[in-house]
Each structure stands twice: as C-alpha cells, then as structure tokens.
C-alpha cells in the first residue's frame, strides 16, 4: 500500500508539471481611469502616473456676409474693400479645435502643459483669380506652453493682454482699439500672486508676429502705391519686447494696467522696389533704431443691477511706435483701402496706412525713423436675458497719427516730417497735390485716419455647450485726405478720377459652436 500510494503521488506530480506550461498566466488587475478632482471638472489621471489630463475643444462653423473669413473681418481692404467682381458676398469657415491640458502637483506647485491645434476648412476668396487657388484646408497651432513655479514658457497669451483679449463681447476677431494675442505669442513670462486677487506679470516676447506692423522707407522707388500703402522695410529682430501688467481681479470685477517697450528698426537706406535689397543696400547704411512702446488700462465691472451675469468690459490704449497694440486683430494689422460712390468722380476711395514708423534717408529727409502714434478704446455691455438668450452691445474707436502737418512737403517744412515725407511719396503716384483741394484733380494730403466700429450680437444656447450666434457690425473709415486725383488704381480698377472720401461698410456674421 505504501509503494502504491507513493507511486500514484509521483505520477500525479509528473502529470501536473507537464501540464503547468499549458495553464493560463493570471493577468494583472486592470487599472481603471480615475477621476482627478484637483483642478475642476473633466480631468482624469493618466493611468500609472500622478498627472491629471483634460481633453477638450470645440467645433465651430462661421459664415460672414460682406466680409472676410477671418472671424468676421469687415470689408476694409482687398477685393471686398474695392467692391469689385472678385469679392465674395459671403464666405464660410469650419474649424475643429483640440486642446490637451495636463497638470501635476509638485513641491514647487503645479506643473502644467497646454496645447491647442486647429484643423479648419475655409472657402477660398476671389484673390484666386490672380494668384491661383489656395488650399482651403489648414492646420494651425494656437497655444503650446509649459507653466512652472510662476513661469510660462512657449506660445501663450502675452503678459500685456487682458483676460478677454479683443473680445469684450463680440465674436469677430477684428474689433480694433486695443491689444490682441488670443492665438498666442512666443514668450517667457513670470506671474507673481500677491494675494487678495492682486497679481503682477512681466515677460519677454518675440515681436515679429504680434508686436509689429510695418516700417516704410519712403526713399525707395514707388514707396507708396495706389492704395496709399508701402512695402515693409523692418529690419530683423534685434531685441524682444518687454511687457508686463499689474492686475486686481476680485468679486466686483477687474482692473489692469499694462505697459510694453518695443524696438522699431529699419533695414537699409537704399532698397529696391518692394523694399527688396540691392547690391548697394549694405554699404548705404541704415537708420538708427528707436524704442517705442504702449500702455493700456482695462476695467471689468460685474454684478450689475441689469441682471445675473451681466458685465461691462472696456480698455483704452496709447502707442508710440507699437501700433499693433491699437490696430490689432487675430491676424495681421490691416491697412485700409475702401471704395464707394462719388457725385463727380469715377468712384470715391478711402485709404489708411498702418505703420510703426517711417523714414526718408538722405539730406532733407526725416533724419531717422519717425515713430507713428496711435490710440484707441473699445468695450462691450453684456446682458443675459435668461439662461438661454444673451445680447452684447460692443464698439471701438481708433486713431493713427503721423508727425507733422498736412501738405508739409508743399508748405515749407519739406520732407523732414513723417507727413511731409509720406505725402511726397504719395504724390509720385497720385498727381494733383495742392494747397486747397476741392476742384477736380486737386487734393490735400494727410495720412492720418480714424476708424469706428459699432455692433450687436445675440446668442441662443438651447442646451449646454451649444450656442448659435448672430452678429451685425458697422465699420467707418474717417480718412483725412480731401479733394480728388487722377491716378492708376489697383486692378481691376481703371486709371480714372477718384474722390478721397470717408467710407462705410456693414457685415453680418453667423456662427454655430459646440464645445466639448
């Protein structure tokens, strides 16, 4: 019996060992996604880490009537400004934005990374008749930054900006009168929190995209073209913009003061047509760079007696050599060229050149870069009718000024002022400049201009995170030229008599947006 039992046990052991390799290995327990409540709704832990992540974005469809696809740009230049047959009566854009936000708690505070990528399809506009059909599909990066111990590194909103950027109540990205970096700027900034809602920020930022407009060399051939604008003769980046703000953000609202320093530099004294370099450019010398800058004051008032959630937002800006802080959109700073009707000429035109400065090299010139002055105000009143309907009334006013007096080049001041040098270059392509210009073929020259905007938007939110909006905006160009001139206008306009006159346009923008 003992031998039988031992033999049976040995056999069982052998059999189990032979079959052990065929048995399934027990899998590790699945680590399910855990909600992270440290930073608000929508965050969850990346499995196996202590980092919280939030995925989001939106899908937006815009259609603009009598304007551009860039978030409701008024018909203030190009084919739409000319009102020619290449203009589009309406244009649409569909965009899908994706955001990734990660946060990790450390002994230095929260380490955050944030990125936003936009995929969009935009109807090509009528310029395709001249330049070939552009690709309507594009991918753009709005934000991409790291935050650590009060520092921000990467493409983020400027330390100069307000929380609402250029959108105090509007949906269009073309409300002028102040600063806008809502799609991010490459910068390094530091924010200090002093408690009780008081903070201060300072930063260094790359100026090319968001802090520059143009510098005109008025000595080059054809310096000022048919539309009153010139080619950009800015030098390369020599110094970052230094920006900062002091902010008070409390239950009653927000108050902020911002300031910035910006270097304005020209490339060379001798340049070819279109500000292109020539073999004489390097040996011709260049104007000395000048430092300009801008300041802005902003105010938000909450808890208004008109209704729950109502508020007022507005900001006021002044710039010297940093015109992008006033004539600012979510794209490039526009110059203005608009056409309209006339009682005696072929058509009327209104021009407005946006620059940081101009210079005219040589004896009798400006003696260096003369900085352009600009100032503006903008704001909105936002009212909620009920949880589903809201309306905003918004507007803005901006002014651009060039140093000197009107017709300086004819009144003894020569071309030593910005106005005198500009008007001398303008006269080369627009004959008939005169001291008094009401007769046909005679005009007075003054490149100063103002722009005004007024609009209203109503939104309907039938369910959470789904909003339908309709916005109407009026735009007015108050240009300071007077009289008329016979000149060769930009094609397809003919060479004819044109009256210098203020211009107006109205646009309608419709939007459907779903946030997720």
113 vs 442, higher pLDDT? 113
Which pLDDT value is given to residue 514? 98
- Which ranges constitute the DSSP H helices of 113-156? 128-131
- HEC letters along 177-244: CCCCCCCCEEEEEEEEEEECCEEEEEEEECCCCCCCCCEEECCCCCCCCCCCCCCCCECCCCCCEEEE
3-class SS at 106?
Answer: strand
In degrees and rounded to multiples of 5, residue 350 shows phi and psi of -135, 130
Cβ pair 114, 145 in contact under 8 A: yes
What is the arithmetic mean of pLDDT over 200-223? 96
Tell me the helix, strand and coil percentages in the chain, rounded to 5: 10, 45, 45
pLDDT at 128: 41
Which pLDDT band holds residue 408 (cuts at 50, 70, 90)?
A: confident
pLDDT of residue 434: 74
Q: Are 513 and 96 in contact (CB under 8 A)?
A: no
Query: What pLDDT score does 240 carry?
Result: 98
Going from N- to C-terminal start, the domains of the chain cover 165-515
Question: What whole-number distance in Å separates Cα of residue 75 and Cα of residue 236?
Answer: 31
Q: In this predicted model, what pLDDT tens digit does every residue of 218-235 receive, in sequence order?
A: 999 999 999 999 999 999
196 band by pLDDT with thresholds 50, 70 and 90: very high
Say how far apart CA 89 and CA 65 lie, in whole Å.
6
Instruction: Examine residue 269 and say whether the peptide bond preceding it is cis (omega within 30 degrees of 0).
Output: no
pLDDT at position 410: 77
451, pLDDT greater than 70: yes
Report which of residues 285 and 332 the model is more confident about: 285
Predicted pLDDT of residue 56: 97
Q: Tokens representing 106?
A: 């450390």
Kindly state the average pLDDT of the residues 57-61.
97
Q: Which two three-digit tokens encode residue 363?
A: 């004896």
Q: What is the mean pLDDT of residues 486-512?
A: 97
Q: In which band, very low, low, confident or very high, does the pLDDT at 176 lie, cut at 50, 70 and 90? A: very high
- The strand pairing partners of 67, in sequence order, are 74
Helix H or strand E segment including 418: helix 418-429
Laid out side by side, the sheet with 215-217 consists of: 215-217, 357-359, 370-371
Tell me whether strands 373-384 and 311-320 are parallel, antiparallel or unpaired.
Answer: antiparallel
Average pLDDT, rounded, for the chain:
91
Percent of the chain with pLDDT over 70: 89
The Cα–Cα gap between 316 and 326 comes to 9
- pLDDT exceeds 50 at position 398: yes
Cβ neighbour number for residue 247 with a 10 Å cutoff: 19
16 CB contacts (<8 Å, ≥6 apart)?
none
User: Rounded mean pLDDT of 171-184?
Assistant: 95
Decide if 46 contacts 34 (C-beta within 8 A).
no
359 bridge partner residues = 217
Give me the pLDDT at residue 436, please: 45
Confidence of residue 137 (pLDDT cuts 50, 70, 90): confident
Q: What is the mean pLDDT of residues 142-164?
A: 97
Residues 445 and 257: their CA atoms lie apart, in Å, by 36
> Among 444, 437, 335, 408, which residue's Cα sits nearest to residue 77?
335
| 486 vs 468: CA distance, rounded Å | 47
Tokens 């020569």 correspond to 414
- Burial code (b: 16+ CB inside 10 Å, e: under 16) for 280-317 equals ebeeeebbeebebbbbbbbebeeeeeeeeebbbbbbbb
Q: Residue 278: pLDDT above 50? A: yes
Query: With pLDDT > 90 as the criterion, what percentage of the chain qualifies?
Result: 84
Average pLDDT value for residue range 153-181: 97
Phi-psi domain of 222 (left: phi exceeds 0; alpha: psi -120 through 50; beta: other) = left
Q: Indicate whether 15 pLDDT > 70.
A: no
Copy the structure tokens of residue 392. 């905003």
pLDDT for residue 16: 46
Asked whether the predicted pLDDT for residue 120 surpasses 60, the reply is: yes
- What is the Cα–Cα distance from 275 to 290, expressed in whole angstroms? 20
Query: What pLDDT does residue 130 have?
Result: 41
Half-sphere exposure of 470 (CA within 13 A, CB side): 3
Return the SS3 of 364: coil
More confident residue, 129 or 465: 465
Q: Are 321 and 356 in contact (CB under 8 A)?
A: yes
């Amino acid at each position: 019996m003992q031998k039988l039992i031992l033999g049976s046990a040995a056999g069982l052991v052998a059999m189990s060992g032979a079959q052990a390799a065929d048995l399934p290995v027990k899998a590790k327990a699945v680590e399910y996604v855990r909600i992270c409540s440290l930073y608000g709704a929508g965050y969850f832990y990346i499995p196996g880490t202590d980092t919280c992540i939030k995925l989001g974005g939106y899908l937006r469809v815009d259609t603009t009537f009598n304007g551009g696809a860039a978030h409701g740009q008024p018909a203030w230049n190009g084919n739409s400004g000319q009102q020619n047959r290449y203009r589009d009566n309406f244009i649409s854009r569909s965009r899908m934005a994706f955001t990734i936000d990660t946060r990790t708690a450390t002994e230095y505070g929260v380490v955050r990374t944030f990125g936003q990528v936009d995929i969009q399809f935009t109807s090509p506009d009528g310029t395709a008749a001249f330049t070939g059909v552009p690709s309507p599909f594009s991918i753009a990066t709005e934000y991409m930054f790291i935050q650590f111990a009060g520092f921000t590194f990467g493409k983020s909103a400027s330390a100069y900006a307000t929380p609402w950027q250029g959108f105090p109540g509007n949906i269009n990205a073309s409300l002028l009168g102040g600063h806008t970096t809502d799609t991010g700027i490459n910068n390094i900034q530091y924010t200090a929190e002093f408690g009780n809602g008081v903070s201060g920020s300072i930063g260094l930022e790359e100026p090319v995209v968001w802090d520059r407009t143009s510098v005109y060399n008025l000595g080059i051939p054809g310096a000022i073209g048919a539309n009153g604008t010139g080619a950009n003769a800015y030098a390369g980046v020599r110094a970052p913009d230094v920006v900062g703000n002091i902010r008070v953000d409390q239950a009653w609202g927000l108050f902020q003061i911002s300031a910035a320093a910006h270097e304005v530099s020209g490339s060379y004294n001798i340049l070819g047509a279109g500000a292109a370099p020539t073999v004489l450019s390097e040996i011709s010398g260049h104007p000395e760079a000048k430092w300009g800058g801008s300041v802005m004051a902003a105010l938000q008032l909450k808890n208004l007696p008109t209704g729950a959630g109502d508020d007022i937002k507005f900001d006021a800006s002044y710039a010297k050599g940093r015109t992008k802080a006033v004539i600012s959109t979510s794209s490039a700073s526009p110059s203005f060229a608009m056409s309209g009707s006339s009682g005696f000429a072929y058509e009327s035109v209104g021009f407005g050149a946006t620059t940081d400065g101009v210079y005219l090299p040589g004896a009798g010139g400006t003696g260096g870069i003369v900085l352009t002055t600009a100032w503006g105000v903008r704001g909105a009143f936002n009212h909620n009718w009920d949880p589903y309907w809201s309306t905003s009334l918004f507007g803005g006013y901006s002014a651009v000024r060039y140093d000197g007096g009107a017709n300086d080049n004819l009144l003894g001041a020569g071309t030593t002022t910005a106005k005198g040098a500009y008007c001398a270059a303008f006269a080369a392509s627009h004959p008939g400049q005169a001291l008094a210009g009401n007769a046909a073929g005679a005009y007075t020259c003054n490149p100063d201009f103002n722009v005004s905007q007024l609009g209203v938007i109503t939104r309907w939110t039938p369910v959470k995170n789904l909003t339908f909006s309709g916005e109407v905006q009026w735009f007015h160009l108050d240009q300071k030229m007077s009289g008329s001139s016979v000149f060769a206008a930009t094609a397809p306009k003919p060479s004819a008599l044109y009256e210098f006159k203020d211009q107006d346009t109205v646009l309608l923008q419709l939007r459907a947006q779903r946030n997720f």
